[in-house]
Amino acid sequence: DVKVTQSSRYLVKRTGEKVFLECVQDMDHENMFWYRQDPGLGLRLIYFSYDVKMKEKGDIPEGYSVSREKKERFSLILESASTNQTSMYLCATFHQPGQGSNEQFFGPGTRLTVL
């Protein structure tokens, strides 16, 4: 069974803290994504990675960085958390086109609150 796990379901941090959100998949998928979900704004892409050590900026990368040292793990880093980064963060994976289904598989999400 396909599985995408995220390190925490709920997280509370203080302004200025460095925050790590981890995503692990067991499907051997090449592509991994980080989104944030806010009411009325839908899912917005922060960063994605199509291979180990490769990354590309999405639509809202400011204030975030990512790390992909191993194929199965994709980390989102908030260098200095701010209150406007309070949100639901979703990780997703995707197999290369033509090598499986066409769907993105999502993790359960991490609800981050920055005080």
Partner 1 sequence: QQPVQSPQAVILREGEDAVINCSSSKALYSVHWYRQKHGEAPVFLMILLKGGEQKGHEKISASFNEKKQQSSLYLTASQLSYSGTYFCGTGGVSYNQGGKLIFGQGTELSVKP
Q: Which positions touch partner 1 (CB under 8 A)? A: 4, 30-31, 33, 35, 40-45, 48, 50, 59, 90, 94-97, 101-109
Comparison of 36 and 81: residue with beta carbon closer to partner 1? 36
Phi-psi group of 69: left, alpha or beta (phi > 0 → left; psi -120 to 50 → alpha; rest → beta): alpha
- On whether the CB atoms of residues 5 and 110 are closer than 8 A, the answer is no
- Burial of 44 per CB tally in 10 Å (0-12, 13-18, 19+): middle
Shorter beta-carbon distance to partner 1: residue 81 or 95: 95
Instruction: Specify the residue, 47 or 81, whose C-beta has the smaller distance to partner 1.
Output: 47
Smallest gap from residue 42 Cβ to partner 1 (A): 4
